[in-house]
Amino acid sequence: MDLPTPEFSDIYSGDETDNVLLGLSDTFAIFNIFSPTEGIADNRGTVTIVGGEGVFEGAGGEASFIETSTFNPSNLSGILVGEVPIEFSVEIPQAVPEPATNATLIGFGIIGAGMLRRRFSN
């Protein structure tokens, strides 16, 4: 799967780290304007984690969120920029070590020796 480009995705990272989560969000907001200078935005949505960098390479998962923020309707440039704290778990696939060839050969040798000993002891 190709990772999304930054302009079409969400990027989640902490300060002073190279560990980054990449996600796609399906969100919506309801804006309530109470006066020319007072408003509330109710944001809801789902974030699907589709990869990452650093310790989050190959990460996947999903998180839902609900967030409410205040804004000034008379001071909008068309885009609301803010931070939404989201707590969620992420699954990161781990490599499973392959058994060494020597261990397999030794195991077969022990089994074979046991079979021969049993055959000759009867």
Q: Please report, in angstroms and rounded to a whole number, the separation of the first and last CA atoms in the chain.
A: 60
pLDDT given for residue 70 in this prediction: 82
Report yes or no on 101 lying in a domain.
Answer: no
Report yes or no on 79 lying in a domain.
Answer: yes
The more confidently predicted of residues 13 and 36 is: 36
pLDDT given for residue 81 in this prediction: 58
Residue 77 region, left (φ>0) first, then alpha (ψ -120 to 50), else beta? alpha
- The Cα–Cα gap between 14 and 11 comes to 10
Q: What secondary structure does DSSP assign to 48-116, as a single string?
A: EEEEEEGGGTT-BEEEEEEEEEEE-GGG--S------------B---PPPPPPHHHHHHHHHHHHHHHH
- The Cα–Cα gap between 70 and 34 comes to 11
Give pLDDT tens digits for 55-103. Answer: 888 888 888 888 888 888 887 665 565 566 667 777 777 777 776 667 6
pLDDT given for residue 45 in this prediction: 85
Report yes or no on 66 lying in a domain.
Answer: yes
Range of the domain at 12: 6-96
Q: Which of 12-26, 54-68, 106-120 has the lowest mean pLDDT?
A: 106-120
Residues in CB range of 36: below 8 A, 6 or more apart:
73, 74
pLDDT given for residue 106 in this prediction: 74
The more confidently predicted of residues 109 and 22 is: 22
pLDDT given for residue 6 in this prediction: 54
Report yes or no on 114 lying in a domain.
Answer: no
Report yes or no on 113 lying in a domain.
Answer: no
As a residue count, the chain comes to: 122
Report yes or no on 78 lying in a domain.
Answer: yes
Report yes or no on 117 lying in a domain.
Answer: no
Report yes or no on 10 lying in a domain.
Answer: yes
Q: What is the domain count for the chain?
A: 1
pLDDT given for residue 12 in this prediction: 72
